[in-house]
């Protein structure tokens, strides 16, 4: 990525996306930051996203869209909140004040407003605002990507797909980053079960750019949904060198690779990926995505009866700093896995009590509004399962199983909750719940035929049946 190729003031204006700054350098660094965000890759020659943002800031400290992208990226990382992070709170207020004191375009004003809404936990309204921008500016990549990621956090699978579908025809091949739109669209198609179209588009994107880690990720999901371990394992192996340098997503793609091995029952191979690629990423200041991947994988090992040794202790050191954040219920559920895994009772209690307190006055915070009926029962179910109160865990989980999509994440990520319910039901004393386990496994087998994991659990229910 050489400097000359970044877009200056005129290039942005010609693209119909005027930026309110006279600094070409600021425009170019905005482009560089956006590109790294879309390609999931910190470009070392620029000092990564952080280096690009500080160059942007230095070039024009008053550049409104510079503040929008900087603050938006912190928020989208879901690792800090305006409630607890003084600096972030100040930065958001400063951005809003700047925007009010300058003659910005209508599009830029909406961008400021969307980031402010997200900061206040009003995620659905933020998405509406980005979609409003896209009605008039379908090639505004920042709006597309912020909306895409936020719909993902909301578990709004159809809007996540359609938000990209509406702009897709406008992205001609000459527009920078156009092939990445295929990858984003393919992900939405996959999450809404258009698996063949999703796969076709992802392969089209990879034909244009084989280092597109998000398209690799869609194909990893398609193979996961089909429980096609052979294709999944072969694909990850063949493409590894193309995506492992996308440092923001590489850990997550390795997570998918490890999932195939767990599914297959090859725990050694899965643990090797964990120890070699996934745990070290977290140690070296992992993102929230890396942290939840660590939790999710260790928890799946545990459900499978694999001893993970002291690995939880290390992860818990990272997660316990975040137990009061309550930015996403999805994150909270993974912190719960971690504090339980590390037998850190104090942190487990803190996670529950602080969420209970905040849920009493949720205001317009979307996630806190989900807490009473969804977040708290889900977290409590993990505690009950850990304490061997299996009937209680089923009683909490079963009624909310079709709402768990609302806590966000992908189908593959949320599968851990489906597995938890099945394991809880399998371990129950009550005959009715043991029967429920069998029903859930039959359903699972219908939707993902030939899954070795389902087969292993089926054998357990058969054994129970024989004992009964």
DSSP string for 2-27:
-GGGS--HHHHHHTT---S-S-HHHH
| Number of domains observed in the structure of the chain | 1
**116 found inside a domain:** yes
Q: What is the CATH number of the domain that holds 22?
A: 1.25.40
Q: What is the pLDDT of residues 326-384, one digit of tens each?
A: 999 999 999 999 999 999 999 999 999 999 999 999 999 999 999 999 999 999 999 99
**37 found inside a domain:** yes
Percent of the chain with pLDDT over 70: 99
Cα(227)–Cα(447) distance, integer angstroms: 10
**300 found inside a domain:** no
Structure tokens at 346: 């104090």
Residue 386's closest CA among 414, 435, 345? 345
Say if residues 378 and 417 touch (Cβ distance below 8 Å).
yes
**286 found inside a domain:** no
DSSP string for 340-377:
HHTT-HHHHHHHHHHHHHHHHS-TT-HHHHHIIIIIHH
**C-beta neighbour count of 56 within 10 angstroms:** 27
Cα(115)–Cα(210) distance, integer angstroms: 32
Q: What is the pLDDT of residues 28-59, one digit of tens each?
A: 999 999 999 999 999 999 999 999 999 999 99
Domain assignment of residue 130, given as a range: 1-151
**394 found inside a domain:** no
- Tell me the CA distances in angstroms from 229 to 220, 221, 264, one per residue in order: 10, 11, 7
Average pLDDT, the chain: 96
**299 found inside a domain:** no
**422 found inside a domain:** no
**1 found inside a domain:** yes
The mean pLDDT value for 125-142 works out to 98
**C-beta neighbour count of 59 within 10 angstroms:** 18
pTM confidence score: 0.97
pLDDT of residue 221: 97
Give exposure, 375-393, as e/b (b: 16+ Cβ within 10 Å): bbbbbbbbbbbbeebbbbb
- Residue 220's pLDDT band (boundaries 50, 70, 90)? very high
Q: What is the pLDDT of residues 408-466, one digit of tens each?
A: 999 999 999 999 999 999 999 999 999 999 999 999 999 999 999 999 999 988 877 77
């Amino acid at each position: 990525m050489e400097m000359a190729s970044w877009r200056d003031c005129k290039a942005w204006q010609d693209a119909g996306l005027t930026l309110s700054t006279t600094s070409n350098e600021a425009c170019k660094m905005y482009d560089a930051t956006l590109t790294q965000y879309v390609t999931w890759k910190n470009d070392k020659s620029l000092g990564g996203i952080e280096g690009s943002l500080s160059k942007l800031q230095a070039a024009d400290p008053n550049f409104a869209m510079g503040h929008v992208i900087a603050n938006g990226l912190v928020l989208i990382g879901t690792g800090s909140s305006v409630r607890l992070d003084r600096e972030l709170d100040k930065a958001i207020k400063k951005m809003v004040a700047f925007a009010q004191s300058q003659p910005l375009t209508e599009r830029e004003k909406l961008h400021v407003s969307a980031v402010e809404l997200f900061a206040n936990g009003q995620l659905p309204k933020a998405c509406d605002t980005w979609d409003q921008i896209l009605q008039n500016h379908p090639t505004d990549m920042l709006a597309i990507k912020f909306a895409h990621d936020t719909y993902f956090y909301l578990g709004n699978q159809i809007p996540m797909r359609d938000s990209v579908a509406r702009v897709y025809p406008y992205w001609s091949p000459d527009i920078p980053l156009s092939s990445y739109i295929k990858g984003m669209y393919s992900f939405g198609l996959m999450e809404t079960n258009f698996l063949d179209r999703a796969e076709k588009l992802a392969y089209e994107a990879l034909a244009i750019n084989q280092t597109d880690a998000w398209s690799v990720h869609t194909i990893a999901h398609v193979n996961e949904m089909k429980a096609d371990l052979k294709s999944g394992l072969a694909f990850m192996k063949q493409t590894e060198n193309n995506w492992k340098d996308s440092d923001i997503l590489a850990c997550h793609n390795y997570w998918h690779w490890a999932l195939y091995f767990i599914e297959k029952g090859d725990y050694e191979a899965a643990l090797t990926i964990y120890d070699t690629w996934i745990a070290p990423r977290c140690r070296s200041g992992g993102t929230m995505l890396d942290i939840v991947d660590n939790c999710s994988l260790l928890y799946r090992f545990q459900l499978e009866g694999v001893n993970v040794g002291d690995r939880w202790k290390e992860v818990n050191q990272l997660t316990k700093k975040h137990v009061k954040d309550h930015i996403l219920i999805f994150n909270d559920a993974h912190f719960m896995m971690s504090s339980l895994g590390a037998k850190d009772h104090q942190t487990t209690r803190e996670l529950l009590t602080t969420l209970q307190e905040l849920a009493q006055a949720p205001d317009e915070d979307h996630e806190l509004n989900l807490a009473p009926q969804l977040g708290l029962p889900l977290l409590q179910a993990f505690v009950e399962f850990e304490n061997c109160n299996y009937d209680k865990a089923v009683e909490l989980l079963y009624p909310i199983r079709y709402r768990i999509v609302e806590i966000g994440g992908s189908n593959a990520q949320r599968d851990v909750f489906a597995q938890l319910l099945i394991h809880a039901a399998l371990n129950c004393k009550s005959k009715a719940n043991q029967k429920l386990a069998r029903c859930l496994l039959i359903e699972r087998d219908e939707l993902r035929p030939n899954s070795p994991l389902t087969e292993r659990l089926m054998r357990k229910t058969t054994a129970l049946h024989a004992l009964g």
